[in-house]
Amino acid sequence: MGHNRDDPNPEDPMLAIDPALIPEHLRPVIEAMCRTGAELSRVIAKGPLAGKLGAGVGENSDGDQQKALDVMADEMFEAALRGTGVRYYASEEQETVLTLDPEGGYALATDPLDGSSNIDVNVTIGTIFSVFAAAESAEASFLRPASDQIAAGYIAYGPQTLLAVTFGAGTMLFVLDPDSGSFVLSEDRMALPEAAKEFSINASNRRHWTAPVRAYVEECEAGREGAKGKDMNFRWVGSLVAETHRILTRGGTFLYPADARPSYGNGRLRMVYEVAPMAFLVEQAGGKATDGTRPILSLTAEELHERRPFVFGSAEEVDRIAELHG
Ligand code: AFP
């Protein structure tokens, strides 16, 4: 006995998330993301038993190496979103935007599998997604102010499989119950701590940083003897979803700035399907997100796969970084 995805029956044990917690018009989209996320979680948990998920299988639109799991995840989400009201589907793994349903009301952008370099070493990886109301064209639907987002979320595949999602009224946290296959609400309003004890940046790039970034990191490293008057710990997982979840949970600062390496003039992270959705989630939890100085949500993507320098976390730290950028 299945159920009509357009009008899920709240009593249906098959549902991957309680529709009562999701704005009615987005229930089919979010149900599809959760159902696919639960399925992907089971594949990831099998690791090598599910095949060579971390094997290189090609390159994406920007020349980044694609892993088998990147392609599998992209195919799963694309297929699951058909018939849910998504008109345009944009993915890190595909050069151009797909039209799934010409009558659909939504435009969804996703990094279907972020953190691919961690697949083979059993470190948390994730799916990131951003939803807009569909505009008259694919370009107009995604190349617009990040503040136009109507929903954003990530699914973290780690010791727990988690969904953090916002519809503009706070950031909610759900945990996948492996027994039922459903995501269960665990926090109805996440609160990113104002003060930070940890900072995150790929320290191996120090020699490529700009002076303000170096100054901020050196303040953190100076600890209680320095300008901060407190010691800071350091974390770098190399998986944006893992870092974001840690910072949403216990505060901190994340920086992936522009640096002097070739093609890193705008950092590494993608505006449309990584930076903008994470900025929405973080700000909805009381944190801040900038490109170093300007709020991310005030910025507009000019190209689908463009990169953007990204700083987010505890408000006082993000403010300090903007101050150092003068
Ligand atoms: P991959 O998906 O190629 O592993 O990149 C992950 C990521 O986009 C983001 O999740 C990390 O924060 C960042 O790159 C790590 O970048 P570095 O490898 O340069 O530290």
**Cα separation of the two ends of the chain:** 61
Write out residues with Cβ below 6 Å of ligand 1: 114-117, 202, 238-240, 268-269
Q: Is residue 48 part of a domain?
A: yes
Question: Do residues 144 and 239 both lie within one domain?
Answer: no
pTM, two decimal places: 0.95
CB-based contact 286:312 (threshold 8 Å): no
* Residue 9 placed within a domain: no
Q: Is the pLDDT of residue 5 over 50?
A: no
Residue 277 and residue 274: Cα distance in Å, rounded? Answer: 6
Q: Structural domain tally of the chain? A: 2
CATH number of 90's domain? 3.30.540.10
- Is the pLDDT at 322 greater than 60? The verdict is yes
Residue nearest to atom 2 of ligand 1 (CA): 115
pLDDT of residue 61: 73
Q: Would you say residue 6 has pLDDT above 80?
A: no
The proportion of the chain whose per-residue pLDDT surpasses 70, expressed as a percent, equals 96
Rounded mean pLDDT, 53-66: 86
Residue 309 confidence (pLDDT) above 60: yes
Cβ neighbors of 186 (< 8 A, separation 6 or more) are 173, 174, 175
Do 285 and 228 lie in one domain? The reply is yes
- Interval 118-161: pLDDT, tens: 999 999 999 999 999 999 999 999 999 999 999 999 999 999 99
Say if 5 falls within a structural domain: no
Burial (Cβ within 10 Å: 0-12, 13-18, ≥19) of residue 11? exposed
For residue 181, the enclosing domain spans: 19-187
Nearest CA to ligand 1 atom 17: 238
314 is in an annotated binding site: no
66 three-class SS: strand
pLDDT band, residue 2 (cuts 50/70/90): very low
Strand ranges (DSSP E) for 206-263? 233-234, 253-256
CATH number at residue 243: 3.40.190.80
Indicate if 63 and 138 belong to the same structural domain.
Answer: yes
- Distance (angstroms) between ligand 1 centre and the Cα of 269 equals 8
Confidence (pLDDT) at 101 = 98
> Is 224 inside a domain boundary?
yes
